[in-house]
Structure 1
Amino acid sequence: MHPQTFQAQAKAKSIAKAKAIVPDLPVRLGSTPATTFRGNPDIFGRLVEDHDMHRALFAMIEETEGKSPERKKLFRELVKEIKAHSAAEEQALWSTVMRNPKTTDDARHAVSEHKELDEMLADLAARDMASPTWMRRFKKAKDEYLHHVREEEQEQFLAAQKHLSTADVAYMKRVFIARKRDEKASVKIDKKIKLN
């Protein structure tokens, strides 16, 4: 199978997971950044799989209005997904990558952006979804998220991969999958207004 076909199928599978939540909403995703990891069976491919699902959830939320049940359901799923993904990624990947002086800065940067996104999502959860300012803040969070995953997929994962053994990568995927499952089952959606 041609690599581009394989990557397209992997992306479509991730989008289908998001679509399953609210099947009647369109997913106007547009293009996504190219990455060598999409569809790979390793930790990096698994992370990109989540990123593609998150991109789809963001796009679907933009198709909703006000306090609709669809918006509430999709936003709840997005928050749970991102929080669980970030915690699992930090344990499985970034904690190891941080130990190597050549990749410490990338790991610190990724973890700090996770914290910023968490704060933005808590701010959105605390605000009125029907307000026009909610959607403006939501779009800002989406832009921050897309910037974050683009950096990970096109720069940080490539740098990290150079310093990891095959055994490290296999172990990281197992840790990620187990930790994400546990995290998602216990995620609490924080509500905290961010003044700015």
Structure 2
Amino acid sequence: MAHAPDVIAELTADHREVSELFAQIEEITPGSAKRKQLLDQLTIELVRHSVAEEMHLYPAVREYLENGDALADKELADHGRLEQLLKGLEARDADDLDFNRLLVNLRVEVFAHVKDEENNLFVQLRQACHPFVLESLGEKVRNAKKTAPTRPHPGAPTSPPAIKLLAPGIGLVDRARDFVTGRGL
């Protein structure tokens, strides 16, 4: 029986998907409506990923890593900056003057966050946690992404238990809005 990806493999795969979406956006002519459509897909993936990390990864970081509270707090601060940029982009059309500036800022922030997670946080987790713990976290993250919000909500809670209680409901509302508007399809 094959094992499902552990939390590190799962989140690293998400990182590659986000990188590919950025590459696709960069290939499209600035001002094109297709850029906005791709940004909507990118936003959906980033928000789902972030919420899953906030629900399951960062509590594990606090529990298993020395200096875990400081590491988790830093990651949450990164997420806060990303949510603000995503919210700013959500309110703009692709031909808006600030769209490209915000998109570049988002790319820089995302890539710095990804590099830090993959080169530091994930390495420490791999050393500190039993493979069973990492596999269990991977399953929890996969399940969380299924019900997570798809739009940025900068004011929403980012720590358990509030996020575990509120995220599925916010996610349901977001997915209903996405269905009605055709966003992300």
Q: TM-score, normalised by structure 1?
A: 0.70
The one of 70, 76, 82 aligned to 1:117: 82
Distance 2:152 2:33 in 1: 17
Q: Residues 22-49 of structure 1, C-alpha deviation per residue, up to 9 Å, x if partnerless?
A: xxxxxxxxxxxxxxxxxx9321011110
Q: How does 1:154-169 map to 2 (within 5 A)?
A: 154-169=119-134
Letter in 2 for 1:124: L
Identity among equivalent positions (%) equals: 27
Alignment partner, residue 178 of structure 1? 143
Tell me whether 1:43 sits opposite 2:7 in the alignment. yes
TM-superposition CA deviations, 1:116-150 (whole Å, max 9, x none): 10111101111232034311221111011000000
Number of residue-to-residue matches in the alignment: 151
CA distance in 1, matches of 2:153, 2:144: 20
Pairwise CA RMSD of aligned residues?
A: 2.2
Larger RCO, structure (CA 8 Å, separation 6 or more) = 2
Spell out structure 1 runs of 4+ moving beyond 4 A: none
1:55 to 2:23 alignment: no
**Cα deviation, residue 57, structure 1:** 0.7
CA gap of 1:160–1:104, structure 2 versus 1, over 3 A, is farther
Output aligned runs, 1:1-196, within 5 Å.
41-100=5-64, 102=66, 103-183=68-148, 186-189=149-152
Instruction: Give structure 1 stretches of 5+ with no counterpart.
Output: 1-39, 192-196
What CA distance in whole angstroms lies between the structure 2 residues aligned with 1:50 and 1:68?
25
Aligned to 2:159: none
1:189 to partner: Cα distance:
5.0
Q: Which runs of 5+ in 2 are unaligned?
A: 155-185
SS at match of 1:159: helix
SS in 2 for 1:128: coil
SS in 2 for 1:155: helix
TM-score by length of 2: 0.74
- Structure richer in helix, relative to its length: 2
Q: Give the Cα–Cα distance (whole angstroms) in 1 for the partners of residues 69 and 129 of structure 2.
A: 13
Work out the CA distance in 2 between the residues paired with 1:141 and 1:182: 24
